[in-house]
Amino acid sequence: MQTGEPQQVAYGHPWVALFTVFFKVSAIIVYIICGLFSSSFVTNYVIVVVLLMLDFWTTKNVAGRLLVGLRWWNEVTDEGSNWRFETLEEGQRAINGKDSACFWWTLYIIPLVWLLLGIVAIVRLKIDYLLVVVVAVVLSGANVVGYTKCSKQASAQLKSYAQQAVTSGLTAAISRV
């Protein structure tokens, strides 16, 4: 390696990134392959939905926290449903660019792939397989909505911290004069 070449940055959490992609892609592959080669809809449905649930859980509870420093959940109370968001504090935040790209790209692309598969199911008149697509879109869509809201709140929170730092810095500078 020459000294002038930039070093390739590795994934910060390679196993988490791998499983984030693995569960998403394996659910799609199994859905396509089972639809072509197997006649048992129930078996196909169970296998794909289990993979979708593993993807949902991994994305929501592991990948979001480790790859992008975000976490969301929804609490249901007597007054209604409340979204809760959690972000790493600025000092704790060391997000790897490859981890983040892997997370966000798969988060947004996979629901689009499922929508495309839904259109194919409708065109081929495989309405029963449309049920699998609906489950996939609901689970992946929940993560899209949760993390998009969480990311917006994190951005607002960082902006607020920056404004507070500037304000306190200006106040300290003025008090010294």
Q: Domains of the chain: which residue ranges?
A: 14-152
pLDDT at 45: 92
pLDDT tens sequence for the chain (177 residues): 455 555 556 877 888 889 999 999 999 999 999 867 777 888 889 999 999 999 999 999 988 888 888 888 888 888 888 888 888 765 566 677 888 888 999 999 999 999 999 999 999 888 888 999 999 999 999 999 888 888 776 555 545 555 555 566 556 556 665
**For the chain, how big is the Rg over CA atoms in Å?**
21
pTM of the model: 0.76
